[in-house]
A and B are shown apart, each in its own frame.
Chain A
């Protein structure tokens, strides 16, 4: 596999303007012999560099007395490409164009929130990655451009910063910067709302997790439990646990690298396996893990096409766009699903213990609900505690719209998605 990567970051705030673009190249050579995979990675893609890497690999295999190198079968060339140029191709724009577009976003943001916003910063990051995968049976090529852009707004509560953001991300180009004033105003309102927020009520409460929170549940709780490494090493307790069935809202979780515009999308994974959607949890039952070829073989399952690697690092199973399935309740009607409790917004982090399935979710704010309506009370940061099966068994409604959140985890671009979920959890002040 050879990967040519152009990356760039840019930022504009009150005192700094910066734009950086750089390139990275990577060649991964793999020989499978005697049950062992030998990998040689080099960043030197010149003819000499490639020849040197082949020489190193040959010598390493030759030193292993258990290695058996057999003649490969004749190649069967297949061509598959994904034309990845987005509408506003970042690589076709100059650094000055990047800064101009980013400056426009920053200027639009200056009008959002007024003087109580103490810091505004516009940011842009671009990862333009072209990958060629060649082996005895396949010749593949793809270009994937991933762009994230946004405006961060910070208010000051008197003792801590209150941060919010309007952002866009995906396998898209500079169109990610087209964040309009209403979105910026909404982000400023969210940051400023924290200035007057009260401490949230605590205890076991009905809650509606907004999509920013349930996306974290997908990415940071379900994805680690559904990864083949966890199955092979920790023997996750998730298997055999019917998830959400008790509430009549059985969980469905899908990983879909073919999602159009998805931040974690690709045409083929880093082992050259064609991208396909994989249902991981269906009807509340875990039906498949995320696998690369080696872990799939160990688990005696077909690979799910999730073999991914950061530059130079080890290949490992990782999600692409992993989402909790949508339900049937309109987003606007979700609050009606709970009588008395909180709507939780602004997911910040989620963590799970693989053995006990204890989950902690942190969120920036909450809104009070009584009689299925908003009370108007605004609360500050909250932490939700629950065992994952209990959280899912208490689900009483699931929203009909899935929203994705991007993440670069261990150098690999992924996205988590989720709908609004009405359930019950132990609420603590965050």
Chain B
């Protein structure tokens, strides 16, 4: 396989290419499964790829390439340059290199010895399950340790490392029953310690017990207090309930005139919020943040930026190309989400009003229309009433933008994977249906 050095040399020699970006990623993936199948998996992959850019009369040509097989670097570059002549869009140029974000993203110990890290984590998980006195049907642990190198014709040359642990387990009660109660646990973090295995398994075991005695949730209007994984699931590949806020800020959609609101406009449309106006910030520079990285996909520096400031659309996630087209500085796209906390303690938000209040701690599923903000969510576990009786089994329905009109955010904050924000969010006047 052609290496990065050979490709860079071929790119510098090429008369067809005006600008270029190259990257090499070496990833080691270790996985273990304990359960019906016992599997130890190790994947080691190196990817060398990049983009070439050509300035043509019709605009800027761009093409991606990936090194694979035994093709010569010069042939790879020539092939990409020919495709770039066909793939022409609006003109733009690479900006001079900016300093990468100082965002450590690797668990050094795990990076040095991934096998030992996965073994230690497996032992910790089995120990936590045993201590919680529950059974499991399957435990799966994986670690991805990556080394990234990025170079551009504008002079950028950077390397960085990252790690990511994933844990999934299913705790069960009454394992021999025809319909045993099951409690899934899904954790994701950059560092093993941040998984908080013991605390999460203990919490899941408590939820398992509560769910076994939970009563069916009656339909009707309600106020909702979102906590726990109902606020954000660390294993979610998108942004869960908050996905519409990110999707509406998409720079490409905005450039094509296809977003619901523009920068400077209220996200609530013509309505005025009666609750606390939401502020959402993307920050990919948080140390060991799940979605933190020093550089974006094409070498652009990752920077924090406001998506929504006090209920007003404030910024777009901007990768390298969209930033150049917009004539703005790139920020590396949407990363970890920071939702600004409010003035009220969780205790005050837990006070019921005229409607019944349901504290929802876990969702069975969440279906969100990123375009409209409409959502439906199955309540896997919630609590209601003065004695916090567990309830389950109905659907929570609403519209995110509408619900945010009456939102109140707790003073206490929490971190759940990519989510940094209030420990509890109160959304009033929603509907539960059967």
Q: Could you tell me which A residues sit within 8 Å of B by CB distance?
A: 15-26, 35-46, 49, 53, 56-57, 60, 64, 95-96, 99, 118-119, 154, 156, 159-161, 229, 232-235, 237, 240, 294-295, 297-299, 312, 314, 348-349, 351-356, 358, 360, 362, 381, 383, 385, 426, 428-430
Which B residues lie within 8 Å of A45 (CB)?
A: 69
Query: Which of A20, A233, A297 is within 8 Å of B87, CB to CB?
Result: A20
Given contact pairs A15-B89, A351-B367, enumerate 5 new A-B contacts (beta carbons under 8 Å). Answer: A39-B39, A43-B45, A56-B44, A298-B37, A383-B376
In the complex, the answer to whether B365 meets A351 with C-beta atoms within 8 Å is yes
- Identify which of A15, A42, A43, A295 gathers the most chain B CB atoms within 10 Å of its CB: A43
A353 to B258, CA, bound (A): 32
In the complex, the answer to whether A20 meets B63 with C-beta atoms within 8 Å is yes
Q: Which 5 A-B pairs have the closest CB atoms?
A: A298-B36, A294-B37, A41-B43, A353-B364, A23-B68
In the complex, the answer to whether B31 meets A38 with C-beta atoms within 8 Å is no
In the complex, the answer to whether A355 meets B43 with C-beta atoms within 8 Å is no
Which A residues lie within 8 Å of B86 (CB)?
A: 17, 19, 95-96, 99
**Is B198 interfacial (CB 8 A cutoff)?**
no
**Is B109 interfacial (CB 8 A cutoff)?**
no
Which A residues lie within 8 Å of B369 (CB)?
A: 348-349, 362, 381, 430
A17 to B62, CA, bound (A): 9
Which A residues lie within 8 Å of B57 (CB)?
A: none
Q: List 12 A-B contacts (CB under 8 A).
A: A16-B89, A17-B87, A41-B44, A57-B42, A60-B115, A95-B86, A160-B260, A233-B182, A297-B37, A298-B37, A362-B374, A426-B433
Tell me how far the C-beta of B182 lies from the nearest C-beta in chain A, rounded to whole angstroms: 5
Which A residues lie within 8 Å of B178 (CB)?
A: 240
Q: Tell me the nearest residue of chain A to B68, going by C-beta.
A: A23
Which B residues lie within 8 Å of A358 (CB)?
A: 364, 378, 393-395
Q: Tell me the nearest residue of chain B to A61, going by C-beta.
A: B40
Which B residues lie within 8 Å of A360 (CB)?
A: 365, 367, 376, 395
In the complex, the answer to whether A295 meets B43 with C-beta atoms within 8 Å is no
Query: Which of A23, A39, A118, A295 is within 8 Å of B40, CB to CB?
Result: A39
Q: Tell me the nearest residue of chain B to A293, going by C-beta.
A: B37
Tell me how far the C-beta of A53 lies from the nearest C-beta in chain B, rounded to whole angstroms: 7
**Is B372 interfacial (CB 8 A cutoff)?**
yes
Q: Tell me the nearest residue of chain A to B65, going by C-beta.
A: A22
In the complex, the answer to whether B70 meets A43 with C-beta atoms within 8 Å is no
Which B residues lie within 8 Å of A294 (CB)?
A: 36-37, 39
A71 to B64, CA, bound (A): 46
For window 378-420 of B, CB contacts with A under 8 Å fall at: 378, 380, 392-395, 397
Q: Tell me the nearest residue of chain B to A361, going by C-beta.
A: B367
Which A residues lie within 8 Å of B303 (CB)?
A: none
Which A residues lie within 8 Å of B89 (CB)?
A: 15-18
In the complex, the answer to whether B49 meets A385 with C-beta atoms within 8 Å is no
**Is B15 interfacial (CB 8 A cutoff)?**
no
**Is B202 interfacial (CB 8 A cutoff)?**
no
Tell me how far the C-beta of B27 lies from the nearest C-beta in chain A, rounded to whole angstroms: 8
